[in-house]
Chains A and B, each alone.
Chain A
C-alpha cells in the first residue's frame, strides 16, 4: 500500500492518539456502555470530527485515504468510538454534499469543532436493509414539515446534537436536519446490545415533530437516491477501514498470546493448527487493507467505480474481521472469553460489522449483480 509522506505522518499521529487515549479504556467503555465526553472533545481538538468538513467551513478536509487511515487507527482501539466517527462523518458529508449554502454555513463549522455532534437516523423497526420501507412520515405544514414515526438503533443518538432524519414526504423519501431539542422528539437509550456497546444507541420517537422548512436537506424525494446513498457510501467505507483496524487488533492479541502461552511443552505459536489461524489472519489483514486503500484511491479520483469497490472492501473486511475475531478467541481459549478481555469484545464488535452499513447478505446480492454488470451479461 503506497501512501504519501503526509499520509504516513498522519497515520503515525492517529495511532499515537489511539494508543494513549482510546485503546487503554475501550474495555471499560464497553463495560459501562458509554463514551466519555472528554473523548469526543479529544477527537474534535485533533480535527478528527471535521475530517470530511471542507476547510472553508473550518474542517480538516481530509482526502479519502487519510480518512480511511483514521478509521483504521480508531477501529484498532475501539469500534464504538469508530462508530461515533462514522455516523458523524456521514452527517457532515450529507450536509457538505447536499446541503444548501445557508445550511453549510450554519452547521458545518460546529460539526467540525465538535460543538455539534451528528447522528444518522435512517433505520426503523421495520426498515433496516430495506431502507425504502421507511414509514416515518413528513407532512408539509406552514413554516416547515411535521414528522411522525420511530427511528431505532441510532448510533450516538443518546448524545447527538442533531440528526439527519429520513421520512416519507409526498410519496418519496426525503432528508431533514433535526435538532435534538425539537418539540415532539423523545430520545430513549438502547442498552445491552451484543457489540459496539459503548456506541450509545437510541430510539427516536417523533410525534408531530416540527422541522423548519430551511432544514430540508437536498430535494423532496431525493433522500434515498442522493443523500442516503452517498452518506451510506461514506459509512460503508468508514466501517470497512474500521474492520481493518479490528483485524489488526486481533492479529496483535493472537500473536502475543501464541508467543507467550506454553502448551504441551512448547509455545502455542509452534503448533501448526494455530499457525494456520495466524496465517489466515495476517493474510486477511493485508488483503482487507489493500481493498480499502483501492476504494479510497478511487474516491479521491471521483471515480464512480468506488461504489462497488467500497462494497467489496466492506464485505471482505467485515467477514474477515469476524472470522479473525473468532479465531482470536479460539487461540486465547478461556483467557479470551473472560470478562473485560479485549478478545471477547473484538468478537462481539466484529459480529456487528457484518450487519451494519449493508449486511453480508445484502452485499453478496449487490456484488453478484455488479459482477454481471462488469461482464456486461
Chain B
C-alpha cells in the first residue's frame, strides 16, 4: 500500500514541493554550512554554529522565500532544526494559510516592513 501511495499524482506533487523547499533552503544555508555537512536531517542547532543573527536571517529567509509569516507561536526549535523540519513547517503553514483563504479569513497581521 505504501508503494502505491507514493505513486499517486497528489503525493508526487507534494514530494516535489517538499524537495523544492529543501533545495532553496539548502542554497540559503550554503552561506553558513558546508554543503557536504548538511543532510536533510542534520540538526543545525546541535552543530554549535547557530547564533541569534543566523536564527534571525533564517526566519527572514523562510518568510520571504515561502511567503509565510512566522508567528510567536511558531517559535519552536523543532520547526527550524533541519531541512526536513523546515520543509514540514513551511508545508504546514501553507496548508493553514490555504485553509484560511478558503474560509475568507486573514492569515497574517498588518505589519510594517522593518525586519
Q: A177 an interface residue at 8 Å Cβ cutoff? A: no
Give the shortest distance, in Å, between B93 (CB) and chain A (any CB): 15
Q: Is the CB of B75 within 8 A of A226?
A: yes
Q: A302-B64, A376-B30, A376-B31 are in contact. Are A222 and B115 (CB under 8 A)?
A: no
Scoring A104, A233, A302, A366 by chain B CB atoms within 10 A of each residue's CB, the highest score goes to A302
Residues of B within 8 A of A101 (CB): 109
Residues of A within 8 A of B30 (CB): 376
Residue-wise, chain B 55-91 has the 8 Å CB interface mask toward A (1 for contact) of 1111111011000000011011000000000000000
Q: Is the CB of B31 within 8 A of A307?
A: no
Return 26 A-B CB contacts under 8 Å, by A number.
A54-B112, A56-B110, A61-B110, A64-B112, A64-B114, A67-B114, A97-B111, A99-B72, A131-B52, A218-B75, A225-B56, A226-B55, A228-B52, A229-B52, A229-B53, A229-B56, A230-B56, A233-B56, A233-B115, A234-B114, A237-B114, A299-B115, A300-B113, A304-B58, A304-B115, A366-B53
Residues of A within 8 A of B113 (CB): 63-64, 299-300, 302
Q: Of B55, B63, B72, which one neighbours A225 at CB under 8 angstroms?
A: B55
A110 to B31, CA, bound (A): 41
List residues of A (217-233) whose CB comes within 8 Å of B's CBs. Answer: 217-219, 222, 224-226, 228-230, 233
List residues of A (259-287) whose CB comes within 8 Å of B's CBs. Answer: none
Determine the residue in chain B with the shortest Cβ distance to A100.
Answer: B72
A366 to B60, CA, bound (A): 18
Residues of A within 8 A of B31 (CB): 373-374, 376
Which B residues contact A (CB, under 8 angstroms)?
28, 30-32, 52-53, 55-61, 63-64, 72-73, 75-76, 109-115
Q: Is the CB of B55 within 8 A of A96?
A: no
Q: Is the CB of B64 within 8 A of A301?
A: yes
Known: A64-B112, A64-B115. 11 other contacts (CB 8 A): A54-B110, A56-B110, A59-B112, A61-B112, A219-B73, A226-B59, A230-B115, A233-B115, A234-B115, A302-B60, A304-B61
Q: Of A98, A219, A303, A307, which one neighbours B64 at CB under 8 angstroms?
A: A303
Scoring B32, B58, B76, B111 by chain A CB atoms within 10 A of each residue's CB, the highest score goes to B111
Determine the residue in chain B with the shortest Cβ distance to A97.
Answer: B111
Q: Is the CB of B57 within 8 A of A307?
A: yes
Q: Of A98, A306, A376, which one neighbours B115 at CB under 8 angstroms?
A: A306
Residues of A within 8 A of B53 (CB): 229, 307, 366
Chain A: number of interface residues, binned into ranges: 35 or more
Q: A226-B55, A376-B31 are in contact. Are A52 and B75 (CB under 8 A)?
A: no
Q: A225-B52, A304-B64 are in contact. Are A219 and B76 (CB under 8 A)?
A: yes
Residues of A within 8 A of B61 (CB): 304
Residue-wise, chain A 42-57 has the 8 Å CB interface mask toward B (1 for contact) of 0000000000111110
Q: A62 an interface residue at 8 Å Cβ cutoff? A: yes
> Majority SS of interface residues in chain A?
helix
A43 to B57, CA, bound (A): 32
Q: Of A59, A302, A376, which one neighbours B63 at CB under 8 angstroms?
A: A302
A220 to B13, CA, bound (A): 37
Q: A351 an interface residue at 8 Å Cβ cutoff? A: no
Q: Is the CB of A62 within 8 A of B72?
A: no
A376 to B63, CA, bound (A): 23
Q: A11 an interface residue at 8 Å Cβ cutoff? A: no
Residues of A within 8 A of B73 (CB): 100, 219
Residues of B within 8 A of A233 (CB): 56, 115
Residues of A within 8 A of B32 (CB): 373
Residues of B within 8 A of A82 (CB): none
Scoring A67, A219, A301, A366 by chain B CB atoms within 10 A of each residue's CB, the highest score goes to A219
Residues of B within 8 A of A218 (CB): 72, 75
Determine the residue in chain B with the shortest Cβ distance to A61.
Answer: B112
Q: Of A55, A67, A302, which one neighbours B110 at CB under 8 angstroms?
A: A55
Residues of A within 8 A of B115 (CB): 64, 230, 233-234, 299, 302, 304, 306-307
Residues of B within 8 A of A376 (CB): 30-31
Q: Is the CB of A304 within 8 A of B112?
A: no
